[in-house]
Structure 1
Amino acid sequence: MKKSRSRGFDRHSLDGLGVLRAVVQAGSFVRAGEALGLTQSAVSRAVARLEDRVGVRMFRRTARSISLTEEGLRFYESVAPHLAAIEDATIEAGGSSTKVRGRLRVNVDGSIGQFVLTPRLEPFLAQHPDLSVEIAVRDRMGDLVRDGFDVSVRFGIPEPSALKSRLLMRTRIVTCASPAYVARHGMPRRPSDIEKHPCILMRDPSTGSHFGWEFVRGKKVVPVNASGQLMVNGVGPLLAACLAGQGIAQLLELYTRELLADGRLVQVLPEWAEETYPLYAYHHSAQLMSAKVRAFLDFVVALTRE
């Protein structure tokens, strides 16, 4: 680590912070320069000046990639929310009629991206024409700051994190099969019967194995040893296999409501379907929340209440 020269914070430092954010978001000095209208050498000099003022080496550089150093990551995590707040304050002070603008990067799991957000995003985009939205599907949330994301929307219990989490909804877990499957194999009558049937399993990205199955009625919880030859890592393949009659599957009611209503799927053991799964939004400090993140969260809250 460099020894800090203890210089005061000035305009050049602020300019360097903007360049730093552009490099982190773009993933390279060249692409950051293209976004900022600067040459690669100008970007490199701005980062070097910032490193000199702060006394921290920001990036590891190799022939093929760059990445934040441990000290650089800690520094960027501290300043990134403030940069967003400064950007919003500048827009507001300038009297702009459209405060929600720029690029919003959203980290989601595959099911949220495919079934919840992208099919219903048009009204939000129409309301904010100066905003562009990037939906990135990831197995795990990872580090929002280091990966350059503004917000995340994901199913599951929150992991320990400095991020703020907001519960959006809970949806039931339902067990389903196709009518053709039930005609061939019969309908399970009790949770233990599931162990005699081929099940379509969903991979748990945190363990590499499949999610465990259990059935809930009131205070009674019955775990079962679900097994089968097919394991998938996405809701789309899970639904497709279930609809094709390849086995019994456990899915979120959010994704099966229409399929159950029109008879393409039938619910298995409906009296044992009281288990729920939470949907959370994750973001940085509420005090430093940018206008675009606030608008997106308001949109997602309204969407999940429908």
Structure 2
Amino acid sequence: MAFDSRLLGGIGVLSAVIEAGSFARAGEAMGLTQPAVSRAVARLEERVGIRIFNRTARAISLTDEGRRFYEAVAPHLAGIEEAAVDAAQSRARVRGKLRVNVDGTFGHYALAPRLAEFLERFPDLSVEISVRDRMGDLVADGFDVAVRFGIPEPSSYRARLLLETRVLTCASKAYVARYGEPRHPNDIATGHQCVLMRDPKTSRAFEWEFHRGNEIIPLAVAGRLMVNDTGSLLGACLGGTGIAQLLELYAKELIADGKVILLLPEWVDETFPLYAYYHGSNFVSAKVRVFLDFVREIAA
């Protein structure tokens, strides 16, 4: 198919619709009427030969073909924008809105406290943080980048390892005073209450393991409380409900301040990875690039 220069304008409208979430809001952002936006999308669908959106009276959503199409072209739009900025010799190279899908643990305890520093570096950039249990579809949901704990699943996104934080077993002073301190991982299974963390992928509790060098002990632990977020896990641990497995990323300060006790300090070799995900392309926008660098900096 010969290149149709009008495609670029249609793709620009498509990008605005995805970012705004509706034809009406995209029209407001672009200074167009809703029918004009709808016609532009319809022309784009006709030119590329696919249906890009599922439309109902109340909402729109990307079709599978539309998602794949936008995933392929979105990074190139960012590259065109950056090239235009460079050509104008503008100093505002990092600008616009950065939408981030973030794991709650990292968002609450590492990213949010440092965002003021990031925004100060880039005064022409605004950031929207969305804390979610799962990454979902970055393209359909309009996200530029995601930061999630866990092993990457197969996908079309690019994944960058940011850190591997240790898994620490902790309890409050009150809990240890009442129930004693375990001397071996097996002691936890036989005489202790644990605070369990729900795995959003399975809706069951995360399994516990204890690592010491090459030695690994999987452990079936018991507990009357299961939570689905780090704040509740920390609160229950600090309140003496039971033993909890915490990530060193945020637990190290609690241990240093004496708010929790590190149990079994010789069994702390298990690690949990933190990855950043972004659209798979050789073109990475300036705002995503500086954000990835910043996250690696604060996660170090």
Return the TM-score normalized by structure 1: 0.95
- Quick one: which of 84, 87, 96 aligns to 1:90? 84
1:246 deviates by 0.5
Instruction: Name the residue aligned to 2:198.
Output: 203
1:285 deviates by 3.6
**Deviates further, 225-234 or 239-248:** 225-234
- Quick one: which of 208, 211, 216 aligns to 1:216? 211
State the alpha-carbon separation in 2 of the partners of residues 270 and 8 from structure 1: 63
Note the residue ranges of structure 2 that are not aligned, 5 or more in a row: none
1:286 deviates by 5.5
1:7 deviates by 6.2
1:149 deviates by 1.0
Question: Is this contact kept in 1: 2:146–2:276, CA < 8 A?
Answer: yes
Q: How does 1:92-131 map to 2 (within 5 A)?
A: 92-131=86-125
Instruction: Name the residue aligned to 1:38.
Output: 32
- Tell me the secondary structure at the aligned position of residue 32 of structure 1: helix
Instruction: Name the residue aligned to 1:77.
Output: 71
State the alpha-carbon separation in 2 of the partners of residues 69 and 54 from structure 1: 14
Letter of the structure 2 residue corresponding to residue 157 of structure 1:
I
Q: Tell me, yes or no, if structure 1 residue 249 matches structure 2 residue 252.
A: no
State the alpha-carbon separation in 1 of the partners of residues 219 and 198 from structure 2: 16
Instruction: Name the residue aligned to 1:166.
Output: 160
- Quick one: which of 174, 186, 191 aligns to 1:180? 174
Displacement over 6 Å in runs of 4+: none
Letter of the structure 2 residue corresponding to residue 239 of structure 1:
L
State the alpha-carbon separation in 1 of the partners of residues 67 and 278 from structure 2: 17
State the alpha-carbon separation in 1 of the partners of residues 299 and 262 from structure 2: 23
Question: Is this contact kept in 1: 2:71–2:279, CA < 8 A?
Answer: no
Question: Is this contact kept in 2: 1:81–1:289, CA < 8 A?
Answer: yes
- Quick one: which of 17, 25, 49 aligns to 2:19? 25
Letter of the structure 2 residue corresponding to residue 98 of structure 1:
A
1:269-295 Cα deviation digits (max 9, x unpaired): 111111111111112245210111111
Percentage of pairs with the same residue: 64
- Tell me the secondary structure at the aligned position of residue 89 of structure 1: helix
Instruction: Name the residue aligned to 1:290.
Output: 285
Q: Tell me, yes or no, if structure 1 residue 133 matches structure 2 residue 127.
A: yes
State the alpha-carbon separation in 1 of the partners of residues 186 and 103 from structure 2: 31
Question: Is this contact kept in 1: 2:196–2:226, CA < 8 A?
Answer: yes
Question: Is this contact kept in 2: 1:58–1:72, CA < 8 A?
Answer: yes
1:8 deviates by 3.5
Instruction: Name the residue aligned to 2:256.
Output: 261
- Quick one: which of 47, 53, 56 aligns to 1:53? 47
State the alpha-carbon separation in 2 of the partners of residues 139 and 267 from structure 1: 27
Question: Is this contact kept in 2: 1:7–1:53, CA < 8 A?
Answer: no
Question: Is this contact kept in 1: 2:100–2:143, CA < 8 A?
Answer: yes
State the alpha-carbon separation in 2 of the partners of residues 239 and 110 from structure 1: 13
Q: Tell me, yes or no, if structure 1 residue 194 matches structure 2 residue 188.
A: yes
Letter of the structure 2 residue corresponding to residue 220 of structure 1:
E
Q: How does 1:136-147 map to 2 (within 5 A)?
A: 136-147=130-141
Instruction: Name the residue aligned to 1:3.
Output: none
Q: CA 1:70 to 1:83, structure 2 compared with 1: closer, same or farther past 3 Å?
A: same
Letter of the structure 2 residue corresponding to residue 191 of structure 1:
P
State the alpha-carbon separation in 2 of the partners of residues 87 and 43 from structure 1: 21
State the alpha-carbon separation in 2 of the partners of residues 39 and 118 from structure 1: 37
Question: Is this contact kept in 1: 2:167–2:268, CA < 8 A?
Answer: yes
Note the residue ranges of structure 1 that are not aligned, 5 or more in a row: 1-5
Q: How many residues align?
A: 299
State the alpha-carbon separation in 2 of the partners of residues 173 and 162 from structure 1: 29
State the alpha-carbon separation in 2 of the partners of residues 134 and 234 from structure 1: 20
1:63-120 Cα deviation digits (max 9, x unpaired): 1111111221221111111111111111111211110001111111111110111110
Letter of the structure 2 residue corresponding to residue 115 of structure 1:
Y
Letter of the structure 1 residue corresponding to residue 86 of structure 2:
E
- Tell me the secondary structure at the aligned position of residue 38 of structure 1: coil
1:246-287 Cα deviation digits (max 9, x unpaired): 100000011111111121100111111111111111122452
